[in-house]
């Protein structure tokens, strides 16, 4: 990532999602998101080695997520209905777009924003049992 792009990414995240911090090597960004209900979730963006040419992974690292029926969300695996990709251990990987449609102009801000929307849909799932694609559209 060019120094100019890195500075721009850091500035937009600092302004809009101030809890997000970059790792020392710049390959991981993580922070806390709060939903409208006040629940707190830890979110990590990684696989930044190829960024911005490659789409980053977005992972919910805490708390452990469960479906409405009590099953661990990481067991859902890749699911279009739940907008999830292959988990990393017990961390749920949020589907925030299609890798083949990722463009270098897409930003980490956009990935975090989509994670925030995913978390709101997840909480509706907890209330209703409906899959997340009831509230989130597919790209």
Count the alpha carbons within 13 Å of 108 in the hemisphere toward its beta carbon: 35
Whether the per-residue pLDDT at 70 is higher than 90: the answer is yes
Whole-number pLDDT of residue 107: 93
- Tell me the fold of 3-127: Ubiquitin Conjugating Enzyme (3.10.110)
Split at pLDDT 50, 70, 90, the class of 131 is very high
- Residue 2: the pLDDT is 83
Q: Mind listing the pLDDT tens digit for each residue in 71-117?
A: 999 999 999 999 999 999 999 999 998 888 889 999 999 999 999 99
**Residue ranges of domains in the chain:** 3-127
The fraction of the chain above a pLDDT of 90, given in percent, is: 80
Write down the pLDDT at residue 94.
97
- What pLDDT is stored for residue 132 in this prediction? 94
Per-residue model confidence (pLDDT) at position 49: 84
Distance CA 70, CA 88 (A): 19
Residue 81 CA from chain centroid, whole number: 16
pTM for the full predicted model: 0.94
Per-residue pLDDT reduced to its tens digit, 33-63: 999 999 999 999 998 888 899 999 999 999 9
pLDDT at residue number 139: 64
């Amino acid at each position: 990532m060019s120094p100019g792009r890195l500075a721009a990414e850091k500035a937009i995240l600092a302004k809009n999602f101030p809890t997000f911090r970059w790792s020392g090597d710049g390959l991981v960004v993580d922070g806390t998101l709060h939903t409208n209900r006040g629940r707190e979730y830890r979110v990590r963006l990684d696989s930044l080695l190829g960024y911005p040419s490659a789409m980053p992974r977005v992972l919910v690292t805490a708390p452990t997520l469960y479906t409405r029926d009590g099953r661990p969300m990481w067991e859902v695996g890749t699911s279009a209905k739940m907008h999830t990709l292959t988990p990393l251990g017990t961390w749920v990987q949020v589907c925030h777009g299609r890798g083949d449609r990722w463009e270098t102009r897409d930003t980490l801000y956009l990935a975090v924003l989509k994670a925030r929307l995913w978390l709101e849909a997840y909480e509706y799932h907890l209330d209703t049992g409906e899959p997340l694609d009831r509230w989130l559209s597919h790209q």
